[in-house]
Amino acid sequence: MLGAAAALGRSLGQFAGRAGHASYRAARSGVARAVDARRRRREARPAPDHPVPPGTRGGRLAGLRSLAGRRPVIALACAALLLPFVALALYVGAALVTLPPLGSGAVATGQRAVTVEADDGRVFATRGSFRGHRLTQADLPPHLAQAIVAIEDRRFYHHFGIDLRGMARAAWRNLRGGGVREGGSTITQQYVRLVTLNQEKTLWRKTQEALLALRAEATMSKDEILLGYLDAAYFGAGAYGADAAAKRYFGKPAKALTLPEAAMLAGLVRAPSQLAPTHNLGGAKERADVVLQAMVETGAITQKEADAARRQSVTLKTPPEAPPGTNYFLDMIAPDLRRLAGADGDITVRSTLNLDLQSLAEAVVARRLDKDGARRKVGQAAMVVLSKDGAILALVGGRDYEDSQFDRAVQAKRQPGSLFKMLTYLTAYEKGLTPETVMVDRPVRIGDWEPENDDGKFRGPVSLRTAFALSINTVAAEVGQEVGIPAIIATARRLGIQSDLPEVPSLVLGSGSVSLLEMTRAFGSVLAGRTPLDTYAINAIRGGDPKPTYVRGDPPGGATLPVEPRTMMLDSLQAVVDSGTGRAARVPGQIVGGKTGTSQDFRDAWFVGMTPDLVVGVWVGNDDNSPMNRMFGGEMPAGIFHDFVQRASALIAKGRARNAVSAARAEAVPAAQVVRPAANPADDLRGVPSVIDTGTLSFRGRSVRLLGVEGQGGHLARQLAGYLRRREVVCAEAGPDGTRCTLDGADLAGMIIAAGGARAREDAPADLLEAEDQARAERVGLWGR
């Protein structure tokens, strides 16, 4: 580097010397011309009466005085001419002396790459930064190199690191466009910036970038520079390097890329975050077409080859975009990944998340909030779904992750109200009381505390089963005094509640603050009979080696709940749903138990319920802790539980895989369940309908309302009309509530709802409700942001 600096200094010195000599000659010539002009003017004036003889001392002194008077002006002119060159030399010299070594900068890649699979192996999310293998000349597909050169730097093989022609062209186009529309950086400049410098847009960085580009061209071959650039470039979706991008998007190494795939990758480097095909496949395809045309213009491929490449389909091997609601789950497992994953490197995680149940959970929460949230002043909700063995099958941390990343299921600590009575009564059953034990519902005073019942009534003698089912506060307070608050806290600890619990009489009514996950886990301990239930969200972790880094084994043998108290508690929980405050949670044909909870001033409403296979916890409230409009746990929370369990059992029973909805997304309207109209074909309506709204069609003046569809107007109706143009629809009456119509054998109502073109009515068939859940989860149509 010192030798290069010396050489540059000598060049600059010679350049400055030549510039100074030229300036001196110009100044001397100017002085001579000025003296000659003065002499001619003097000769032209009339002679004085007493002229000074030429050559005398007086004449010479006059000329010298005149020249001396002009010397400061001449010196300033010379200095003004030399100053920019000296400043430029000093600036470039300083940039050269302080150049960092080539390749000394670390490419910022963030955290390790994590691919997350659902419980059935479907990939649903990726996080972190992917780093593939470093490319060699043998690994580099010719089409990828040609595509990158064509779209990024057509004169790459003809310039010396800095393309003066390209810089001039970019400057002219930017000037004509009134802004920065085209960059003038070469691939070499981009490479040295990625591996050595930062991304600051300053003159200093650009100067060093140019000097490093010259150094790279002097010490590396063109192929080495191109390979280095492809290894360092960012291709979006957390993929750094062409090999990582090929695996991230297409599930193959870079050397296996086809021409259309290579064109798509080459098109990403200009705007990777904006064009990443995981969330903007259309934009990535359009940019790939531009790259193919650039390759034609540079002679890399023929027009025929470009047209053939455009006709080839490019299929992503990753989901278009992770469902937004699953991010709460991903945030929750992040600490466990850091603890379990071991050494650095990309990993794949097999989680416990059931995508079907997750989609259903998000949908039922959103539907209830949309329907009654504003009227009842309920702003947020959270939900946790556990299997009997403690696997976290679904988790809803809030209404919208993109609006707020705060997880109300895991992080929020709120007062559970009467939900905490489960721990009070379980402690009582373990100490010898039974559901048939009779206590008196009457005014109670414990120190300064006087608990009251929600309805202000007193029922006299009642059994503990009845008191628990009706959530009678006075009886719970008496039970707490009989068994002791420390014993209740000990029971809570055994069942997995770790939050601080105040040792006060009002604890029996939920005056402590706990999380929804903790309370759901405690109820799960009762269902499973283990204390505590070991909740988990990760089944296995795989790294680069075939052998898994981590595999969840059988849970360690722990304590169990005594059989009789557990049986009594399950019986009391079932009584809450059968005849108590949780009647809204009843599901026909299902054995259901649970408990409601409402905190003081209606700030929190809870329901945690269970079936033989699932434990489901629900909380609703407001982030600012403001009161709701008299919302009890037996209302919206129990209703959310009911809506979920009613359909979850069917999903679990048949192990539903993804239906054909996503397969037709390329046409913007997914395929749906095939429906064979059962009506008499003679009664069918056939033809090309006009669209009144997305739930109502018109055949030759006869209106047809699609069964289970709540139609939408506006642009959604116009899009549907455009889609149905010149396409035959067949409709058959399905009863007084509507009509079933098919398009190419597929249910039209399901297609519309799955594409986000309409809502499903509350009484819609199950397949339409499932289609809406899918549309909500994937944020399409009216559910998009």
Same domain, 600 and 745: no
Same domain, 88 and 72: yes
| Predicted local confidence at residue 444, as pLDDT | 94
577 closest CA partner among 585, 569, 588: 585
DSSP helix/strand/coil, 251: coil
Two tokens at 83?
């100053």
| Predicted local confidence at residue 548, as pLDDT | 86
| Predicted local confidence at residue 551, as pLDDT | 92
| Predicted local confidence at residue 699, as pLDDT | 86
Last residue of a domain, one of 294, 311, 328: 311
> Sorting pLDDT into bands at 50, 70 and 90, what band is 628?
very high
Say which residue, 386 or 7, is predicted with more confidence: 386
| Predicted local confidence at residue 2, as pLDDT | 37
| Predicted local confidence at residue 44, as pLDDT | 55
371, 389 contact by CB (below 8 A): no
> Sorting pLDDT into bands at 50, 70 and 90, what band is 65?
low
Same domain, 148 and 290: yes
DSSP helix/strand/coil, 498: coil
Task: Kindly state the average pLDDT of the residues 315-328.
Answer: 79
Is residue 456 over pLDDT 60?
Answer: yes
> Sorting pLDDT into bands at 50, 70 and 90, what band is 184?
low
In a domain, 328, yes or no: no
| Predicted local confidence at residue 59, as pLDDT | 53
- CB-based burial, 94-110: b 16+ in 10 Å, e otherwise: ebbeebeebeebeeebe
Same domain, 431 and 550: yes
Identify which of 288-302, 537-551, 715-729 has the greatest average pLDDT: 288-302
In a domain, 333, yes or no: no
- The CA distances from residue 329 to 523, 533, 723, in Å, are 20, 19, 37
Q: Tens of pLDDT along 209-231?
A: 777 778 888 888 989 899 999 99
Distance CA 564, CA 750 (A): 49
| Predicted local confidence at residue 70, as pLDDT | 63
605, 598 contact by CB (below 8 A): yes
| Predicted local confidence at residue 100, as pLDDT | 65
In a domain, 109, yes or no: no
How much of the chain, in percent, has pLDDT values that exceed 90?
44
Give the CB-side neighbour count of residue 296, counting CA atoms within 13 A: 15
> Sorting pLDDT into bands at 50, 70 and 90, what band is 114?
confident
Say which residue, 502 or 27, is predicted with more confidence: 502
| Predicted local confidence at residue 755, as pLDDT | 85
- Mean residue pLDDT of the chain comes to 82
Distance CA 538, CA 392 (A): 9
Same domain, 81 and 161: no
What's the CATH number where 477 sits? 3.40.710.10
In a domain, 119, yes or no: no
Last residue of a domain, one of 311, 341, 372: 311
DSSP at 706: B
| Predicted local confidence at residue 555, as pLDDT | 75
Give the CB-side neighbour count of residue 610, counting CA atoms within 13 A: 28
Q: How big, in percent rounded to 5, are the helix, strand and coil portions of the chain?
A: 50, 15, 35
Domain count, the chain: 4
Q: Tens of pLDDT along 247-279?
A: 889 988 898 999 999 999 999 998 888 898 888
Same domain, 73 and 145: no
Same domain, 60 and 146: no
| Predicted local confidence at residue 601, as pLDDT | 94
Same domain, 560 and 587: yes
DSSP helix/strand/coil, 764: coil
| Predicted local confidence at residue 119, as pLDDT | 92
In 178-258, which ranges are continuous DSSP H helix? 187-195, 203-219, 222-232, 242-250
What's the CATH number where 306 sits? 1.10.3810.10
> Sorting pLDDT into bands at 50, 70 and 90, what band is 315?
confident
In a domain, 340, yes or no: no
Q: Tens of pLDDT along 667-709?
A: 333 333 333 333 333 346 888 888 989 999 988 878 889 999 9
114, 349 contact by CB (below 8 A): yes
Same domain, 722 and 642: no
Same domain, 294 and 399: no
Please give the residue range of the domain that contains residue 525: 363-654
| Predicted local confidence at residue 500, as pLDDT | 95
| Predicted local confidence at residue 8, as pLDDT | 37
Same domain, 419 and 567: yes
- CB-based burial, 190-205: b 16+ in 10 Å, e otherwise: bbbbbbbbeeeeeeee
What's the CATH number where 697 sits? 2.40.50.90
Q: Tens of pLDDT along 2-16?
A: 344 444 344 434 434
In a domain, 117, yes or no: no
How much of the chain, in percent, has pLDDT values that exceed 70?
78
| Predicted local confidence at residue 672, as pLDDT | 36
Task: Kindly state the average pLDDT of the residues 115-127.
Answer: 88
Is residue 397 over pLDDT 50?
Answer: yes
In a domain, 121, yes or no: no
| Predicted local confidence at residue 421, as pLDDT | 97
> Sorting pLDDT into bands at 50, 70 and 90, what band is 301?
very high
Bridge partners of residue 607, in order along the sequence: 596, 618
Last residue of a domain, one of 654, 670, 698: 654
In a domain, 608, yes or no: yes
Q: Tens of pLDDT along 467-524?
A: 999 999 999 999 999 999 999 999 999 999 999 999 999 999 999 999 999 999 999 9
Same domain, 70 and 208: no
Is residue 63 over pLDDT 90?
Answer: no
Torsion angle defined by CA atoms of residues 755, 757, 763 and 766, in that order, rounded to the nearest 10 degrees = -10
